[in-house]
Amino acid sequence: MPGEPNRKWHSWLPYLFLLIAALSRWPGLFPPNFSAFYGLAFCAGAFFPRRVRWWLPLGTLVATDIALNFYYQTVSALQLVNYAAYALIILLGTRFNHRSRFLGLLAGGLLGAILFYLLTNTASWLSNPEYPKDLAGWILALTKGTSGYPPTFEFFRNTLMSGGLFTALFAGALKLTEAPEPASEKEPAPEEEPEGEEAPEEAPA
């Protein structure tokens, strides 16, 4: 049947994306905050079936976090903020679907990456005693960060770049492999003229 290979690819792509996102967290593979999970979370909300759109990406995230915690031998309470931020990106993705334009999906993925950056760095500002708890301290947390670490603005650049890149890759692949829409759904059916209506009689002169 025409389109059958596309449908098979379309059904397997979410699991391929999960594997790519998990591998993207391999230590040292990408720069800090450069991750496929921003794009994955957004596209899960937009494209994945309802029964898996939440637990599949978040479950993969938790599993990779457990592995990374063993590797780095550290556990941070801020990981809960990360999960909340990814859940927010999934929720944002649910405002889109396969009918959405590609540029709209790309913009949504970038917005999700920005929300992740703002939420997680605000949590860091609130929890880190090095930051003054005022507007200047919050801006410091969003731009320069603390001493001994790269500027947080570099992390934002990596977040934004990877969010846009992987959203474009995932959304593009899903839209290219989706089954063609039936013509009956693309064009509205013509309105039927009501039956039994007679032409109005002309008024007598």
Q: What is the pLDDT of residues 103-120, one digit of tens each?
A: 999 999 999 999 999 999
Q: How many CB atoms lie within 10 A of CB 105?
A: 26
Q: What is the pLDDT of residues 63-80, one digit of tens each?
A: 998 888 777 766 677 889
- Per the confidence metrics, is the pTM higher than 0.85? no
pLDDT of residue 8: 55
Residue 186 pLDDT level (bands cut at 50, 70, 90): very low
- Tell me which DSSP letter residue 203 carries: P
Average pLDDT over every residue of 170-193: 64
Average pLDDT over every residue of 176-195: 55
Residue 21: exposed, middle, or buried by beta-carbon count in 10 A (0-12, 13-18, 19+)? buried
